Amino acid sequence: MKPLLELAGVSAAYLGAKILFDLDLSLADGEVVALVGRNGAGKSTLIKTVMGIQVRRSGSIRYDGQDIVRLPAHAIARLGVGYVPEERRVFGDLTILENLEVGRQPPRQGAPVWTTEALFEIFPNLEELRHRPAGQTSGGEQQMLAIARTLMGNPRLVLLDEPSEGLAPVIVEQMAAAVGKLKSQGLSVLLSEQNLRFAGVVADRAYVIESGHIRFSGSMQGLIENADVRRAHLSV
């Protein structure tokens, strides 16, 4: 089956410094793939490289068969790629509902179609707070809102940057359950994640990144069972 997203020989530089080195990666339609590694390993840079943000890129990045390596971020978004940044960047003065309306886009062929009601079923915390300004909600609620707002654009692929970062364990569990529900709706997800337990719950496959190089690629279960890889590249 042809990958939905395929990277071949991709390198990236930021502020003149090369950060990613000749990476190969693929993601199938409806698959959840995790980029796992220590802080500073290059996970977020790889997410931004796919999205066309802040970096100089080389190599081939194909989305649904089209090479997007030279496209700007807004053009990539129009093709059906959603991006949830680590910083969340919700509109603090707007309510939950108003934030969701900001993200609304028409349906896309081959992608799940989302409404506020469908998203409230996945993120019930947001329904209870629908009229509250986003700036008056918790970090976990803002993370849920950032994901939900991106889904209002009806993307086929979502890039999630560190979705569990800084969240309480109970919220991390809720987030994992939400990602599982998104996958069941046919959404494809590429996520960067330091929390191996979270990644193990939601991801089908994993790539371990260290110093801008891929050190492991395989099933998520294979990574969990490979103590040598985890000790060499993931232990603090």
Helices marked H in 80-216: 96-102, 116-122, 124-128, 139-151, 169-184, 196-202
Tokens of 153: 């654009």
DSSP 133: B
113-123 residue pLDDT tens: 999 999 999 99
| Cβ neighbourhood burial of 236 (10 Å; 0-12, 13-18, 19+) | exposed
Task: Please report which confidence band the pLDDT of residue 218 belongs to, taking 50, 70 and 90 as the band edges.
Answer: very high
Q: How far apart are CA 31 and CA 36, in angstroms?
A: 16
The length of the chain, given as a count of residues: 236
> What integer best gives the mean pLDDT of the chain?
93
Contact 111, 156 (CB under 8 A): yes
Contact 156, 80 (CB under 8 A): yes
Q: Strand 5-14 and strand 17-27: pairing?
A: antiparallel
Q: In what order do the strands lie in the sheet with 5-14?
A: 17-27, 5-14, 56-63, 66-67
| Cβ neighbourhood burial of 95 (10 Å; 0-12, 13-18, 19+) | middle
Task: Please report which confidence band the pLDDT of residue 88 belongs to, taking 50, 70 and 90 as the band edges.
Answer: confident
Task: Please report which confidence band the pLDDT of residue 1 belongs to, taking 50, 70 and 90 as the band edges.
Answer: low
pLDDT at 151 over 60: yes
Q: Any idea what the Cα angle at residue 171 is, between residues 35 and 52, rounded to 5°?
A: 35
Tokens of 210: 């260290």
pTM reported for the whole predicted model:
0.92
Q: How far apart are CA 200 and CA 34, in angstroms?
A: 9
